[in-house]
Structure 1
Amino acid sequence: MEVDFITKNDLENFRAALLNDIKGLMQNSQTFSRKEWLKAIEVRKLLGVSNGTLQSMRVKGTLRSSKIGGIHYYRYTDIENLMQQGYALK
């Protein structure tokens, strides 16, 4: 029966390699999973705003939406443009 010893250095190398692998997977999934249209809850999480704030932005015309079956959908590119233009979210 053969016995292998694991050192702290071995564990540290394993941890670093595992973290790099996870980071690579997350970057790839974010690149390919970006949807063209987002639901209101996804937009609220993305911008960090409340439901009322998002509704106010929609009513004022700051951020356009399309309503289908009672659900508002927002175009991802519109959100990017909003952020690039430097609109203050209140």
Structure 2
Amino acid sequence: MEMLTKHDLEIFRVRIISDLEKMLEANLNQAYGDFSWLRSKAVRMMMDISPATLQNLRITGKIRFKKVLGSYYYNKEDLLKLFEDEN
């Protein structure tokens, strides 16, 4: 029988998170891959951010948006660029 250490558990946690992120990214690409503009809810889920953070990104001009019948739509290319800038 082997003993588990905190380090072993940390490595396991990192692997699980990495696998989940890959699965989520694959699902989002499949679900939203063909759209160049995304609704607020999809953007918040994809970026795991609050409505206030999304509003701040909109106000500061970091991402383009369109308002159609009271709903905001965000440019997918801007979001991908924002992700690249963060990494």
Other-structure match for 1:83:
83
Between Structure 1 and Structure 2, whose CA radius of gyration is higher? Answer: 1
Other-structure match for 2:15:
none
Structure 1 regions of 5+ residues with no counterpart? 1-22
| Paired residue type of 2:75 | R
Which SS does the other structure have where 2:62 is aligned? Answer: coil
Which SS does the other structure have where 1:67 is aligned? Answer: strand
Which aligned segments of 4 or more residues in structure 1 are displaced greater than 4 angstroms?
A: none
Aligned Cα RMSD in Å?
Answer: 2.5
> For residues 18-40 of structure 1, what are the alpha-carbon distances to aligned partners after superposition, in whole Å with 9 as ceiling and x for unaligned?
xxxxx9xx77x81x851211000
Structure 2 regions of 5+ residues with no counterpart? 1-22
Shift of 1:77: 1.0
**Sequence identity of aligned pairs in percent?**
30
Q: How many residues align?
A: 61
Aligned partners of 1:45 and 1:86: how far apart in 2?
Answer: 17
TM-score, normalization by structure 1: 0.58
Q: Does 1:37 align with 2:31?
A: no
Aligned partners of 1:33 and 1:62: how far apart in 2?
Answer: 21
Aligned partners of 2:84 and 2:54: how far apart in 1?
Answer: 17
Which SS does the other structure have where 1:61 is aligned? Answer: coil
Aligned partners of 2:53 and 2:69: how far apart in 1?
Answer: 21
82 and 33 in structure 1: CA distance in 2 versus 1, 3 angstrom threshold: closer
